[in-house]
Chains A and B, each alone.
Chain A
């Protein structure tokens, strides 16, 4: 089924929303014109309607970790092209283009840092890197982040945003669902907490593996979270989806999220939760 990666045109539209150019930007939810500096001060949430703009790993690291405490790891783990995959362009070209466009190494940034002095093994996905898709690099870096948590005896926090699997890595990308879940079973045996934070959007193979396996599953307000993407569902059932379908609030109601935390409360709440363990 085509629920894994959204179409590129869709991604590009969303990127505009997430990386506003110039001094002003428009809230894609309520239409409010917001001064960029003000948006940043408000942790990229609309001051009028609280819409959570999409942000990447570097912003989340600034928001939740103690100043200068975060050390990024495994930056040298980079995508290979084991299948020699070519669609409208070769996968290697797509990767090169994405490296220069995003200045990122892949769809996840991992490392270790402290929140209120407590050590945390951390991973955060980057949606603007090929739709936050999970290939072998994402799988391996999550695997290593889990191993770090086990070795350092500290909690694991992963922030997800993903269209699903990296199609250009075909079956290898599918296997990352099993790989990350298997590694989490070792974390569980070590009795160490995994806090999974699902942001807009988290769908496909990421939701259907590690992202739904948190000891705590936390959503950001209004985030799209699901297995199949809304367009695929609409095509299948040939009906319009109800308002709010697959949003965080819907998942909370249905029992699949434990809590929804506003971005401005994220650091404080995480700190208090970590203290519980």
Chain B
């Protein structure tokens, strides 16, 4: 078990503790049969809980403090990463990280929301909530990629763009809007991977691409379940219902045609086995990238635009 236990994981934890206790006892008495039985039981309990996760439970997994974050993917999927700091206008925003790297020997540009691992690093990273400077750093890196004809890979993991005084003063809305415009015209492939939280404008601000991949337990929507609850139900207590209503899971979004591919996670969530997750994400990016590398820039842009033009359902 991981150090952090989510509420719905408690029954599993209890059984696992019991098994551990029996194993310690089995030095003096033979409990091997009982242990095997209990191990079967915990296995089926795990299956039962993790195969039937509610949307809110998935949101909890997406926010798990031990879940891989952008810097982990940078360290494990890429080589020769050189971080590029700053927007050359105002400052460097640590909530968005980016730079040049090699992915399976190909030169690529990588951009991602960057959360922290602990309180200190989260304060430094502003919990992955970018200011306009972060979006402008991304803007600069998108242009950089286009200039040198290299594909871009973006990692989405944010609770939202930061709602602060300075963010407004420096044009949070304009910064995001400019990125949307640029990404819809960029003449190099863009692969988007939603790895954790994809909250609204702050997420899509680096999330317009040719293919949108999403980890099984990540979430992506226009608003967080909590904020949705507070606005539509006028109380913070309806986050479970809000998560259900928003249909924000990878499976929902695949059905809605908003994402292209779900990347599977180990049972219990990505934090249970980082190596497996890195392998799965690496393979998914590699396959996607290979399918895009020989497409002409004109077709790439035209297809990307068409993809987003089709999004939405209305009656007529």
A residues neighboring B (CB under 8 Å) = 1-5, 7, 76-80, 82-83, 85-88, 135-137, 139-140, 143, 165, 167, 169-179, 181-186, 188-189, 204-205, 207-213, 225-228, 232-233, 236-237, 239, 241, 245-246, 254-256
B residues neighboring A (CB under 8 Å) = 159-165, 167-174, 176-178, 180-181, 183-185, 199-202, 204-205, 207-208, 220-224, 227-228, 230-234, 241-242, 245-248, 252-253, 256, 258, 304-305, 308-309, 311-316
Q: Contacting B315 at CB < 8 Å: which of A80, A177, A178, A205?
A: A80
Alpha-carbon separation in the docked complex, A7 to B232 (Å): 8
A169 to chain B, nearest CB (A): 8
Residue of B nearest to A233 (CB): B163
- Provide the residues of chain A in CB contact with B315, threshold 8 Å: 77-80
Alpha-carbon separation in the docked complex, A255 to B173 (Å): 13
A98 to chain B, nearest CB (A): 15
Residue of B nearest to A137 (CB): B314
Alpha-carbon separation in the docked complex, A134 to B283 (Å): 36
Residue of A nearest to B129 (CB): A1
- Provide the residues of chain B in CB contact with A232, threshold 8 Å: 163
A182 to chain B, nearest CB (A): 4
A254 touches B312 (CB 8 A): no
Q: Contacting A209 at CB < 8 Å: which of B164, B177, B233, B241?
A: B177
- Looking at A86, A185, A226, the one whose CB has the most chain B CB atoms below 10 A away is A185
B174 touches A256 (CB 8 A): yes
B201 touches A171 (CB 8 A): no
- Provide the residues of chain B in CB contact with A209, threshold 8 Å: 176-177, 180, 201
B165 touches A185 (CB 8 A): no
Alpha-carbon separation in the docked complex, A132 to B165 (Å): 24
Q: Contacting A226 at CB < 8 Å: which of B173, B177, B199?
A: B173
Alpha-carbon separation in the docked complex, A241 to B184 (Å): 35
Known: A88-B232, A136-B313. 5 other contacts (CB 8 A): A181-B181, A189-B185, A213-B177, A227-B172, A256-B174
A207 touches B173 (CB 8 A): yes
Residue of A nearest to B259 (CB): A171
Alpha-carbon separation in the docked complex, A145 to B148 (Å): 35
A226 and B314 in contact (CB under 8 A), knowing A2-B227, A175-B258? no
Alpha-carbon separation in the docked complex, A165 to B309 (Å): 17
- Provide the residues of chain A in CB contact with B207, threshold 8 Å: 178
- Provide the residues of chain B in CB contact with A233, threshold 8 Å: 163-165, 168
A178 touches B184 (CB 8 A): yes
A88 touches B233 (CB 8 A): yes
Give the 4 A-B residue pairs with the shortest CB-CB distance, closest first.
A136-B312, A228-B163, A2-B227, A182-B184
- Provide the residues of chain A in CB contact with B181, threshold 8 Å: 181-182, 184-185, 188, 213
Residue of A nearest to B177 (CB): A212
Alpha-carbon separation in the docked complex, A257 to B112 (Å): 29
Q: Contacting A236 at CB < 8 Å: which of B163, B170, B199, B228?
A: B163
- Provide the residues of chain B in CB contact with A186, threshold 8 Å: 305
- Provide the residues of chain B in CB contact with A136, threshold 8 Å: 311-314
A258 to chain B, nearest CB (A): 12
A78 touches B305 (CB 8 A): no
Alpha-carbon separation in the docked complex, A179 to B258 (Å): 12
Residue of B nearest to A239 (CB): B165
B314 touches A83 (CB 8 A): no
Alpha-carbon separation in the docked complex, A211 to B180 (Å): 12
Alpha-carbon separation in the docked complex, A256 to B315 (Å): 36
B180 touches A181 (CB 8 A): yes
Alpha-carbon separation in the docked complex, A171 to B247 (Å): 8
- Provide the residues of chain B in CB contact with A188, threshold 8 Å: 181
- Looking at A171, A179, A239, the one whose CB has the most chain B CB atoms below 10 A away is A171
B169 touches A182 (CB 8 A): no
- Provide the residues of chain B in CB contact with A172, threshold 8 Å: 256, 258, 311-313
A254 touches B171 (CB 8 A): yes
A183 to chain B, nearest CB (A): 7
Q: Contacting B180 at CB < 8 Å: which of A4, A80, A177, A245?
A: A177
A171 and B168 in contact (CB under 8 A), knowing A77-B314, A182-B184, A228-B163? no
A137 to chain B, nearest CB (A): 5
A5 and B231 in contact (CB under 8 A), knowing A172-B312, A227-B167? yes
Alpha-carbon separation in the docked complex, A248 to B66 (Å): 43
B312 touches A228 (CB 8 A): no
Q: Contacting A179 at CB < 8 Å: which of B173, B201, B246, B312?
A: B312
Residue of A nearest to B164 (CB): A237
Residue of A nearest to B245 (CB): A85
Alpha-carbon separation in the docked complex, A239 to B159 (Å): 21
B308 touches A182 (CB 8 A): yes
A165 and B200 in contact (CB under 8 A), knowing A182-B208, A186-B305, A237-B165? yes
A1 touches B200 (CB 8 A): yes
Alpha-carbon separation in the docked complex, A3 to B199 (Å): 12
B77 to chain A, nearest CB (A): 25
A171 and B248 in contact (CB under 8 A), knowing A205-B222, A213-B177? yes
Alpha-carbon separation in the docked complex, A172 to B201 (Å): 12
Q: Contacting B231 at CB < 8 Å: which of A139, A167, A182, A255?
A: A167
- Provide the residues of chain B in CB contact with A79, threshold 8 Å: 314-315
B258 touches A171 (CB 8 A): yes
- Provide the residues of chain B in CB contact with A211, threshold 8 Å: 173, 177
Alpha-carbon separation in the docked complex, A235 to B180 (Å): 28
Alpha-carbon separation in the docked complex, A88 to B231 (Å): 10
- Provide the residues of chain A in CB contact with B160, threshold 8 Å: 1
A179 touches B172 (CB 8 A): no
